[in-house]
Amino acid sequence: MKAETLYDRLGGSDGIETVVDEFYDRMLDDERMQPFFEDVDMERQRRHQALFISQVAGGPAEYSGENMRAAHRNLGLTHEDFETVVTHLRASLDACGVDEADAADVIEAVRGLEDDVLCR
């Protein structure tokens, strides 16, 4: 019997898309984060984020977007911005009923990308 992956525990593609939608709704409602998305095709952004989380969570989706450093190099993100993203992601996972341990695994994976996202 195949072990259940984090992807499965997050609800597969549908569950991840729900979390991503909740996350971007929160990000776009946050006046501090809005400027980062002014010229962004949000439908495309949501698809890419869902694919990225799916891959990180062990799902079948293959993320083919830019690497983290390239995707964020011109944004001028700060540690505080990164923490805001983590806070919104955690709140989104909680709002979608993701188990505490699974949410912690997602947050840990995101935190592991901080240096690349902040281009350090």
Please, are residues 87 and 53 in contact by the beta-carbon 8 Å criterion?
no
| Residue 42 vs residues 11, 52, 56, 78, 88: alpha-carbon distances, Å | 22, 15, 21, 22, 17
User: pLDDT 10s digit of each residue in the chain, 120 long?
Assistant: 556 899 999 999 999 999 999 999 999 999 999 999 999 999 999 998 998 889 888 888 666 666 777 677 777 788 999 999 999 999 999 999 999 999 999 999 989 888 888 888
pTM, two decimals, is 0.88
Q: What is the residue type of 104?
A: A
- pLDDT at 27 (0 to 100): 96
Q: Using an 8 Å Cβ cutoff, are 91 and 83 in contact?
A: no
Residue indicated by tokens 């984090």: 6
pLDDT given for residue 98 in this prediction: 96
